[in-house]
Amino acid sequence: MAKEMIMKDKVIQAFREEYGADPAYLAHSPGRVNIIGEHTDYNGGFVLPMAINFSAWIALRPRQDDRVILTALDKNEKLDFGLGGFSKGKRSWREYVKGVAWSLQEEGSELKGWEGVLSGNVPIGAGLSSSAALELALARAFALVSDLAWDPVQMALACQKAENGWVGVNSGIMDQIISASGKKDYALMIDCSSLKTKHVPVPKKTRFLILDTATRRGLLDSDYNERREQCEAAACHFGVESLRDITQDQLLERAGILDLTLYRRAQHVISENQRVLDAVEALDQGDAAALGLLMNESHTSMRIDFEISRDEMDHMVSIAQDQPGCYGARMTGGGFGGCAVALVAEDQIEIFKDSVIQEYRLKTGLDPKVYLSSATDGTGFEVLS
Ligand code: GLA
- Predicted TM-score (pTM) above 0.85: yes
For atom 5 of ligand 1, which residue has the closest CA?
A: 334
CB 41 less than 6 A from any atom of ligand 1: yes
User: Residues in the chain, how many?
Assistant: 385
- Cα–chain center distance at 259: 31
Q: How far apart are CA 205 and CA 113, in angstroms?
A: 46
Q: Verify whether ligand 1 is closer than 6 Å to residue 334 (CB atom).
A: yes
Q: Is residue 203 in contact with ligand 1, taking CB distance under 6 Å? A: no
Contact 225, 232 (CB under 8 A): no
Please give the DSSP secondary-structure letter assigned to residue 383: E
- Ligand 1 centre and the CA of 23: distance in Å? 34
Q: How far apart are CA 216 and CA 294, in angstroms?
A: 25
Which of 327, 318, 324, 299 shows the shortest CA–CA distance to 206?
327
| 336-350 core/surface letters (b: 16 or more CB in 10 A; e: else) | bbbbbbbbbbeebbe
Residue by residue, pLDDT tens for the chain (385 residues) are 578 889 999 999 999 999 999 999 999 999 999 999 999 999 999 999 999 999 999 999 999 999 999 999 999 999 999 999 999 999 899 999 999 999 999 999 999 999 999 999 999 888 999 999 999 999 999 999 999 999 999 999 999 999 999 998 889 999 999 999 999 999 999 999 999 999 999 999 999 999 999 998 754 578 899 999 999 999 999 999 999 999 999 999 999 999 999 999 999 999 999 999 999 999 999 999 999 999 999 999 999 999 999 999 999 999 999 999 999 999 999 999 999 999 999 999 999 999 999 999 999 999 999 999 999 999 999 999 8
Residue 241: how many other CB atoms lie within 10 Å? 13
Residue of 32, 36, 39 to mutate, ligand 1, most atoms within 8 A of C-beta: 39
Looking from the CA of residue 173, the nearest atom of ligand 1 is: 9
- Ligand 1, residues 35, 40, 41: which to mutate, most atoms within 8 A of Cβ? 41
Nearest to 41 by CA among 207, 224, 278, 199: 224
With vertex at residue 249, the alpha carbon angle to CA 243 and CA 251, rounded to the nearest 5 degrees, is: 45
Establish whether 175 is a catalytic residue: yes
For 229-234, the CB contacts below 8 A with 24+ separation are 230/261, 230/262, 230/265, 231/39, 231/42, 231/43, 231/265, 231/266, 231/269, 233/259, 233/262, 234/258, 234/262, 234/263, 234/265, 234/266
Cβ–ligand 1 distance for 35 under 6 Å, the answer: no
217 lines ligand 1 (CB under 6 A): no
Distance CA 22, CA 18 (A): 10
Among residues 134, 139, 136, which one has the least CA distance to residue 124?
134
Q: Where are the beta strands (DSSP E) in 63-151?
A: 67-72, 77-82, 114-120
52: nearest Cα among 334, 381, 339, 375: 375
Distance 15 CA to ligand 1 centre (A): 33
Could you give the CA distance from residue 76 to residue 117 in angstroms, rounded to a whole number? 10
Spatial separation of the C-alpha atoms in residues 311 and 325, rounded to whole Å: 24
Return the best residue to mutate from 135, 171, 339, 341 for the ligand 1 pocket (most ligand atoms within 8 A of CB).
171
Measured from the CB, is residue 172 less than 6 Å from ligand 1? yes
**Long-range Cβ contact pairs of 280-285 (< 8 A, separation 24 or more):** 280/48, 280/189, 280/198, 280/200, 283/48, 283/187, 283/200, 283/201, 283/202, 283/203, 284/200, 284/201
